[in-house]
Amino acid sequence: MVPLYIDYVRQSTSSTGESSGGNFDASSPPSGISAIIMEYLPGEDMHHLRDRHCQSLSHTTNIPTRRISIQDAVYLTADVMIPLIRAMHDTGVIHRDVKPSNCVRSGTTSNEREFKMVDFGLSKSFVVPKGSSYADDTYPWDKPWQLPPSEAAKLRSSGNTDAKPPKASLRRERTEADFRGTSMYASLRVHQSKDHCRRDDVWGLLYVFCDLVSGGLPWMSHAATRDRAMCQIMKEQVHGERAAGD
């Protein structure tokens, strides 16, 4: 579910294990190398699954559609994506690019219904060591958390490879941040250069639900041409922060 940061600190002939992120297997890695190993998922992503379903409906009704039923949309978002996003947030990580194509089935047969989140290229830890320059210590974090690679490297270099992650706090929110994500599903806050947080992943999920049940979003054509400014304007209109026609 979340890519596994695996710190190899000694020579070994092989190592295997299982986690919520899937199976991994490595053999004879050089000492001191950090690796990200991700599970191979042969199934369809949610975007292609929706397209295939809608094409089947179109052949039956002769009416082109991108919509799926509310029941199916609720299943895909509430039953599939929310638990995945919650599990990710519970490790102290935000995805920053929640969208249907980043949710993939683990298998290709009809009985392999498990989905997993993928593509963590934009993901970020929102938890940092307590007392660090990035920490907001008024908001302590009391759950297990994943050390960022830079902090894990510091532990390695100190030789204290068995140390547990230190006490943690939420990362202090920046006053301004670069855009990260996909214009189609990015929250209005992200368009407005505000620091991405957990709520923005949830807003992305809400846009996914609206897209599934309506067959598109009002700014879909602008997102397709990468016109981020128009996507922001239309989202401000939808949210009531800008009058229509402005």
Residue 155 maps to a domain: yes
Distances (CA, A) of 23 to 39, 86, 94, 148: 6, 20, 22, 21
Strand ranges, E, within the chain? 4-7, 15-19, 22-26, 34-37, 93-94, 103-105, 115-117, 124-125, 127-129, 135-141, 168-171
Banded pLDDT at 108 (limits 50, 70, 90): confident
Query: What is the arithmetic mean of pLDDT over 190-205?
Result: 97
The total number of structural domains that make up the chain: 1
Residue 7 maps to a domain: no
Residue 34 maps to a domain: no
Residue 198 maps to a domain: yes
Pick from 180, 32, 212, 43: nearest CA to 116: 43
Higher pLDDT, 115 or 32: 115
Residue 15 maps to a domain: no
Pick from 200, 207, 210: nearest CA to 179: 200
Query: What is the arithmetic mean of pLDDT over 155-167?
Result: 69
Give per-residue pLDDT as tens, 56-99. Answer: 877 777 767 888 999 999 999 999 999 999 999 998 999 999 99
Q: What integer pLDDT is reported at residue 198 of this predicted model?
A: 96
Banded pLDDT at 179 (limits 50, 70, 90): very high
Residue 122 maps to a domain: yes
Banded pLDDT at 162 (limits 50, 70, 90): low
Residue 79 maps to a domain: yes
Give per-residue pLDDT as tens, 202-224. Answer: 999 999 999 999 999 999 999 99
Handedness of CA 179, 169, 149, 133 (dihedral sign): positive
Lowest mean per-residue pLDDT among 8-12, 145-149, 212-216: 8-12
The fraction of the chain above a pLDDT of 90, given in percent, is 54
Q: What integer pLDDT is reported at residue 59 of this predicted model?
A: 72
pTM: 0.79
Q: Give the domain extent around 189.
A: 40-246
Query: Using alpha carbons only, what angle is made at residue 115 by residues 113 and 121, rounded to the nearest 5 degrees?
Result: 160
Q: What integer pLDDT is reported at residue 166 of this predicted model?
A: 80
Residue 230 maps to a domain: yes
How many angstroms separate the CA atoms of 23 and 17, rounded?
6
Q: Is the pLDDT of residue 159 over 70?
A: no
Give per-residue pLDDT as tens, 12-59. Answer: 233 323 333 444 444 445 556 666 677 788 889 999 999 888 888 777
How many angstroms separate the CA atoms of 81 and 211, rounded?
14
Cβ atoms within 10 Å of 93's Cβ, excluding its own: 23
Pick from 123, 121, 118, 122: nearest CA to 42: 118
Q: What is the CATH number of the domain that holds 214?
A: 1.10.510.10
Q: What integer pLDDT is reported at residue 210 of this predicted model?
A: 96
Q: What integer pLDDT is reported at residue 84 of this predicted model?
A: 94
Mean of per-residue pLDDT scores for the chain:
82
